């Protein structure tokens, strides 16, 4: 078993910004993940070798980042059959207890007073970080809360909190974390989040947002694709993680599929900010997209609409679509998976009320 990666709140990197020439030294977290990932790639543990991917920015207002990743479409493990957002864990299907132990990069351990979280009677859950053997991009790894506890693919406060913490532990504004629920193109029903590096700015980092319950860090995204947004800096991580989980629990209880995307971002604002504010990456934006469920649906030929596509990162499966697809084509595909505006607006009111009454 690799050595544990021990961290505390003092390891958060708070001076990140999105501007040219302002690059920070890799943080301890980045060095651990990147060195471990590269080592496993060099040792041939992946399904394919991931080199530099062909990348282009689609012309238009939304700044979609298109990448050609043919091998992921061909070589990735066949997704499990998913019938319900609340489907129970099935030990007979593939899960992360069946992986090659060599795929594990580290186990994240948060240092706390007395060796355990205050008020907890049981040891805290551990977070195992392993390589994704069918990578989307450089450093693509999976965060799996204590695999032996066999949690189904339903978010917990702990999983969200460590996802936010991992973004804060990175000095790279291109490190992202995401989650696909069942019915939202999750391919394995065993609780996990994705993490990877994408060295391109995404609109979600600075997209304007309207406050819904700002004291809970809860906003509504004002641009395409419509959804919800949480924002936190280092001091409010636990509080915001609990609020995000209350929203995802609400969605699970109502069988609404959803995707999450966590990234460095500027504080939410309804209008264009100053250049300084727009470039600030001190905090973490957590986008939540409720969406139409897909159970046993035929996959799109160009790209599937999951966590990274909704955030503006498009891994294409074939060269023709990569070269010819336009921003209009992309928005047309994505809209097929989004909730209708009226349904989203009703959900917005319900969630704001739900959060304010907790």
Are 297 and 241 in contact by the 8 Å Cβ rule? The answer is no
Number of helices (H), then strands (E), belonging to the chain: the values are: 9, 14
For residue 333, give the H/E element and its range.
helix 327-335
- For helices 237-253 and 341-356, the axis angle rounded to 10 degrees is 130
**Of 168, 188, 170, 167, which Cα lies nearest the Cα of 178?**
167
Which helix (H) or strand (E) segment holds residue 244: the answer is helix 237-253
**Spatial distance between the Cα atoms of 319 and 269, rounded to a whole number of angstroms:** 38
Catalytic site residue from 190, 192, 194, 258: 192
| CA–CA distance, 82 with 80 (Å, rounded to integer) | 6
258 is catalytic: no
Q: Which residue bears the tokens 């897909």? A: 294
> Would you give the DSSP letter of residue 71?
H
Catalytic site positions: 192
């Amino acid at each position: 078993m690799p050595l544990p990666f021990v961290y505390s709140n003092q390891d958060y990197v708070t001076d990140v910004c999105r501007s040219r020439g302002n690059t920070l030294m890799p943080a301890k977290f980045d060095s651990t993940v990147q060195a471990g990932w590269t080592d496993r790639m060099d040792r041939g543990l992946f399904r394919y070798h991931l080199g530099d991917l062909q990348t282009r920015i689609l012309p238009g207002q939304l700044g979609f980042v298109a990448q050609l990743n043919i091998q992921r479409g061909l070589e990735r493990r066949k997704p499990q059959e998913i019938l319900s957002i609340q489907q129970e864990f099935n030990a007979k299907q593939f899960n992360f207890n069946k992986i090659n132990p060599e795929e594990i990069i580290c186990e994240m351990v948060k240092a706390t007073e007395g060796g355990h979280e205050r008020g907890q009677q049981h040891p805290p859950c551990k977070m195992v970080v392993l390589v994704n053997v069918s990578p989307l991009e450089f450093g693509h790894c999976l965060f799996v809360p204590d695999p032996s506890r066999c949690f189904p693919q339903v978010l917990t406060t702990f999983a969200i909190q460590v996802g936010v913490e991992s973004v804060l532990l990175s000095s790279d504004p291109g490190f992202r974390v995401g989650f696909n629920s069942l019915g939202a193109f999750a391919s394995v029903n065993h609780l996990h989040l994705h993490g990877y590096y994408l060295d391109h700015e995404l609109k979600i980092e600075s997209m304007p947002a309207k406050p819904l319950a700002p004291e809970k860090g809860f906003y509504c995204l004002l641009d395409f694709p419509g959804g919800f947004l949480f924002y936190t800096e280092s001091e409010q991580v636990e509080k915001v993680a609990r609020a995000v989980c209350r929203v995802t629990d609400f969605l699970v209880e109502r069988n609404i599929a959803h995707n999450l995307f966590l990234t460095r971002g500027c504080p939410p604002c309804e209008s264009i900010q100053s250049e300084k504010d727009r470039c600030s990456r001190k905090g973490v934006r957590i986008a939540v997209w409720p969406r139409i469920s897909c159970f046993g649906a035929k996959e799109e030929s160009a790209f599937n609409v999951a966590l990274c596509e909704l955030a503006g990162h498009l891994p294409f499966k074939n060269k023709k679509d990569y070269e010819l697809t336009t921003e209009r084509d992309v928005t047309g595909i994505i809209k097929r998976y989004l909730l209708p505006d009226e349904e989203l607006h009703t959900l917005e009111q319900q969630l704001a009320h739900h959060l304010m009454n907790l």
